[in-house]
Chains A and B, each alone.
Chain A
Amino acid sequence: EAQVTQNPRYLITVTGKKLTVTCSQNMNHEYMSWYRQDPGLGLRQIYYSMNVEVTDKGDVPEGYKVSRKEKRNFPLILESPSPNQTSLYFCASSAPSRAQYFGPGTRLLVL
């Protein structure tokens, strides 16, 4: 089944404790992206990757890191999480210039 998977789905952590949210897709898509969704602000792009070893900042990259060592994986790293990073996070992938397919989301609470 073609899909985008994210782990963990839910996470509660404390300020400053490094965490990684994994994202994997099995559709051989070149393009992958991370978004956060907050009430009243909609979906905002954090980082994206056009292909392996090619990443770039989206609209709200501060406090986040990503890597793209393999085509299928695009982890999101929070080196020192803060409460303002409490949010719902979505990973997405697509072929170039095509609609994106989203993972099921990761709900993060930073205390």
Chain B
Amino acid sequence: RKEVEQDPGPFNVPEGATVAFNCTYSNSASQSFFWYRQDCRKEPKLLMSVYSSGNEDGRFTAQLNRASQYISLLIRDSKLSDSATYLCVVLNAGNMLTFGGGTRLMVKP
């Protein structure tokens, strides 16, 4: 079993739609959680950290469920520019980041 698992997609959605991604992690001692966005052939960029109480940044909402060991990302009112691969990332002891395989999102006009 992979340490961080994501549905690879692609998720094809129309502009304006709401889309949600889930991610599960296997290490119950994981300390911090993040969502990164990666555009084709570019570097991953931090989208948002994920806090236990849930957090929102504009159209993006992240949730963490430690008991079930999953993380979610909700994108409301999707824009064409949201098309990218979204990486679920878990930080373990020793500053070790473990990446999910990514979920590809394609927003269509």
Contact = CB atoms under 8 A, between A and B. Distances in A.
B42 A50 contact: no
Interface residues of B, number: 21
A90 B89 CA distance: 15
Contacts of A101: 46
Contact of B42 (A31, A98, A100, A105): A105
A42 B95 CA distance: 19
A90 B100 contact: no
A97 B43 contact: no
Interface of A: 31, 33, 42-43, 45, 48, 50, 88, 90, 92, 94, 96-105, 107
Contact of B95 (A50, A90, A104): A50
Given A96-B95, A97-B95, A42 B101 contact: yes
A88 B41 contact: yes
Contacts, number: 45
Interface of B: 31-32, 34, 41-46, 49, 87, 89, 91, 94-97, 99-102
B43 A103 contact: yes
Contacts of A48: 95-96
B100 to A, nearest CB: 7
Given A43-B99, A99-B49, A90 B34 contact: no
A33 B91 CA distance: 13
